[in-house]
Chains A and B, each alone.
Chain A
Amino acid sequence: MKNKNGSTLMIVMLVFTLFALLATGLSILFFMNLKVRINSIDERALMMELSDDVYRYLNENEKALEAGNEEFDDYLVEVSIVDDTYKIVFQHSKNEKIKAEIIVKYQDEIYEIISWGNG
């Protein structure tokens, strides 16, 4: 398959192979980028849902909390008493990145959130 000038079909095939490899490499990179974005969207949405659930948890507790661990929907809730405030750790049972640590104060039968830390 060689002509007089020395060009072969192999060169054309090599170019195609390189093109195919480049396209494969790019597609892997692009899909990895998509995967990272999907995870980021999921985490942001779950964090918003977690904060909604923290408010719901506090709304449902009309009495002063007691120290200890309990389950609340999909979360593990750890309550500890620090001085006259409560430290509450909300941990999603399926995703360890979905976590919030809040410090609340119980006053006039409602909880006032003093600080909020995510992750």
Chain B
Amino acid sequence: MKSTSKGFTLTEVLVSVAIAGILVVAVATFFIRYQRLNNRFLVKENMLTEIENVYELYTGSPASFPENLNKYFDLDLASSDKLYYDSNFQKRATASKNYLELEYGYIEYGYNEGKYRLKITPYYQGEIVTFTDKTYFLREIRVGGQNEE
């Protein structure tokens, strides 16, 4: 091959393209991985915010928690065993007495022997999500005679 005086040789171009390819693949892999982790943390942050909101409803007034939960999720939990769908006909929640299943987890609540009990099990896409070494959050509040059901 006759060499010209202008531009790079074929070898130089090939080496440059190979190096550029390696760099681009490395950077793309990193960003895809970052995006996945970022989405996972976003789900966890949203879950925590939702759990904090439910906790606030419960802790402020455990006796009227079911009514407040109805208002918060705009549901009718008085009737048992119902499925709820949103405007796109996607299942939004499954509810029965003292139980509510949502996109981000299940909520179980009740009252027994002077104690109100709220258990939230976070899960996402069929898998339980853990935040600490426990798989659920459980808050029990003991109440005096005048606050009992």
Contacts and interface: CB of A to CB of B under 8 A. Distances in A.
Interface of A: 1, 3-5, 9, 12-13, 16, 19-20, 23, 27, 30-31, 34, 37-38, 41-42, 44-46, 48-49, 51-52, 55-56, 58-59, 107-110
A64 to B, nearest CB: 15
B75 interface: no
Contact of A41 (B27, B131, B134): B131
5 contacts: A9-B8, A16-B19, A45-B48, A58-B142, A107-B144
A64 B113 CA distance: 20
Contact of B41 (A12, A23, A41): A41
The B interface, classified by DSSP as helix, strand, loop or mixed, is helix
Interface residues on B, range: 35 or more
A46 B145 contact: no
Nearest to A27: B30
A4 B142 CA distance: 87
Interface in B117-149: 131-132, 134, 137-145
Contact of B144 (A52, A58, A109): A109
Interface of B: 5-8, 12, 16, 19-20, 23, 26-27, 30, 34, 37-38, 41, 44-45, 48, 51-52, 55, 115, 131-132, 134, 137-145
Contacts of B23: 16, 19-20, 23
B26 A23 contact: yes
B132 A49 contact: yes
Nearest to B52: A48
Given A51-B55, A55-B139, A110-B143, 16 more contacts: A3-B7, A4-B6, A9-B12, A16-B16, A16-B19, A16-B23, A20-B23, A23-B27, A34-B37, A34-B38, A41-B41, A45-B48, A49-B134, A49-B137, A52-B137, A108-B145
